[in-house]
Amino acid sequence: MKAKTMTSPVNIEERKALDLRSGDTVKVYQKVPDKDGKFRTQIFEGLIIAKKHGKEAGGTFTVRRTAGGYGVEKIYPIYSPMIEKIEITKRAKVRQSKLYFIRRKAVKEMNKRMKTEIMRLDKAEKIVAPVTEKEVEHTES
C-alpha cells in the first residue's frame, strides 16, 4: 500500500530558509477575505518583537507597529497558508530575543512628545495673549 503524500499550499522549504529574528522590520503580505468571498492582499509592516517555537510546525512570530498613535501587534504562524510572503526590509542588531520592553518604551516616548507639545502651546499662548486695560493702568501707575 502506498502512503499518501500531503501537499501544502505553503512552500515550507522557503519559509524555513527565512531567517526571521527579533529586531527585524518585516512586511507580511496577508490574504484577507472580502465580502464577495474573494481574497485581497493586506500588508502589515512592523518590528518583530518575539519569535516562538523556532522553525517547527507551530512556530509563530509577533509583529508590532504603531498605527494612529496606538500600538498594534499581530501574531502570525510561520507556515500559515493565509500569508502570501514575508519580506525582510531592515535588520537591527538587538541584544535580546524578546523585545517586550518596546511596549513601555513607546508609551514613554508618546508621553514625552505630549509634554513638549503642551509646553510649546503654553508658550505660544503667552506670547499671543492680548494686553488688557487693567494691565496697561497697572504699568502706568
> Which range of residues forms the domain containing residue 85?
1-99
Place of cell 502512503: 3
What domain count does the chain have? 2
Verify that 105 and 94 share a domain, yes or no.
no
pLDDT digit string (tens) for 2-51? 666 667 778 888 888 888 999 999 999 999 999 898 999 999 999 999 99
| pLDDT at 10 (0 to 100) | 81
Query: Alpha-carbon distance 14 to 16, whole Å?
Result: 5
| pLDDT at 61 (0 to 100) | 95
Confirm if 40 and 34 have CB atoms less than 8 A apart: yes
Grid cell, residue 11, equals 512552500
Verify that 70 and 121 share a domain, yes or no.
no
Residue 47: give its domain's CATH number.
2.30.30.790
pTM assigned to the model: 0.71
Verify that 125 and 58 share a domain, yes or no.
no
Verify that 12 and 74 share a domain, yes or no.
yes
Verify that 91 and 128 share a domain, yes or no.
no
